[in-house]
């Protein structure tokens, strides 16, 4: 979701890659004093977003863009389409229990993927005459769920890292995250069957954990390869016959 916001704000793909690759990934999960209970904090992420996006708002975006979150108090999906961009991003990446819920107005907001991992219908409502391209970062059904990689400070002895990984709490948290991943994949596939995006792009996320430190340039290559593979479908979805069909008959 963050990438979509940056692109909608006018950053080029090369600029986005440069910005993300410069992030100090070792400090992303620092805590700040007023965060709600969670395993990790988002203090580092918040500082980086505030520094990078500043006071930019949805109203200033060059391309229409909305984000989704879930209100912990009402269990309802919340569509974020106004206000500060960095605040909306913090809400949409708040994985339940792992990161703190983000307080906004009367809401306690969590990652919108809890209810709707790939909001196809919402994207279609922004531009009904255009094709909807869904990007799924979930592993295909049938593959093992992703494990949790703990972000630990640099310089820790290997023995200490090994012992931390063997703690019952750490193992229990890993099982919880893998269970969430299984449910997320099932919800994603059901949503695709119901909402029928015009094209589905599935980058290879094998070996990439939720909290892993990543080589941004390698991740970009995975995305580019998946987009290249889907290029025939993209051209077909953008053809004038399909544009006319969507204009006349909508999603039917």
Give tens-digit pLDDT for 162-220.
545 556 767 777 777 778 788 888 889 999 999 999 999 999 887 777 777 888 999 99
Domain boundaries in the chain?
1-115, 117-217
Q: Is the per-residue pLDDT at 150 higher than 70?
A: no
Residue with tokens 């994985």: 95
Kindly state the helix (H) or strand (E) to which residue 55 belongs, with its residue range.
none
Q: What value does the mean pLDDT take over residues 146-167?
A: 50
Kindly state the helix (H) or strand (E) to which residue 142 belongs, with its residue range.
none
Q: What is the pTM of this model?
A: 0.82
- The conformation of residue 76, written as its DSSP 8-state character, comes to -
The set of residues, in sequence order, having a beta carbon less than 8 Å from that of 15 and lying 6+ positions away, is 6
Rounded to an integer, what distance in angstroms lies between the CA atom of residue 178 and that of residue 170?
Answer: 12
Q: What value does the mean pLDDT take over residues 245-251?
A: 70
The residue among 42 and 162 whose pLDDT is bigger is: 42
Reported confidence tier of residue 252, pLDDT bands at 50, 70, 90: low
Model pLDDT for residues 56-65, shown as the tens digit of each residue: 999 999 999 9
Rounded to an integer, what distance in angstroms lies between the CA atom of residue 207 and that of residue 229?
Answer: 20
The residue among 62 and 247 whose pLDDT is bigger is: 62
Rounded to an integer, what distance in angstroms lies between the CA atom of residue 93 and that of residue 112?
Answer: 8
The structure tokens listed for 19 are 């910005």
Q: Which of 26-40, 79-93, 231-245 has the lowest mean pLDDT?
A: 26-40
């Amino acid at each position: 979701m963050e990438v979509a916001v940056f692109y909608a704000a006018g950053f080029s793909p090369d600029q986005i890659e440069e910005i993300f690759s410069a992030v100090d990934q070792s400090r992303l999960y620092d805590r700040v004093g007023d965060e709600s209970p969670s395993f990790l904090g988002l203090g580092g992420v918040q500082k980086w977003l505030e520094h990078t996006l500043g006071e930019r708002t949805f109203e200033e975006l060059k391309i229409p863009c909305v984000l989704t979150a879930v209100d912990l108090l009402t269990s309802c999906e919340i569509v974020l389409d106004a206000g500060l961009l960095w605040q909306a991003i913090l809400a949409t990446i708040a994985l339940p229990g792992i990161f703190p819920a983000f307080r906004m107005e009367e809401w306690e907001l969590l990652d919108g993927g809890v209810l709707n991992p790939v909001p196809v219908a919402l994207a279609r409502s922004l531009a009904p005459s255009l094709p909807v391209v869904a990007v799924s970062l979930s592993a295909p059904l049938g593959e093992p769920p992703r494990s949790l990689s703990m972000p630990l400070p640099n310089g820790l002895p290997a023995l200490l890292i090994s012992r931390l990984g063997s703690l019952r709490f750490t193992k229990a948290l890993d099982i919880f995250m893998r269970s969430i991943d299984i449910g997320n994949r099932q919800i994603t596939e059901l949503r695709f069957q119901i909402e029928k995006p015009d094209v589905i792009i599935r980058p290879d996320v094998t070996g990439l954990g939720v909290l892993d430190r990543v080589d941004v340039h390698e991740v970009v290559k995975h995305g580019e390869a998946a987009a290249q593979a889907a290029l025939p479908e993209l051209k077909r979805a953008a053809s004038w016959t399909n544009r006319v069909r969507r204009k006349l008959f909508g999603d039917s």
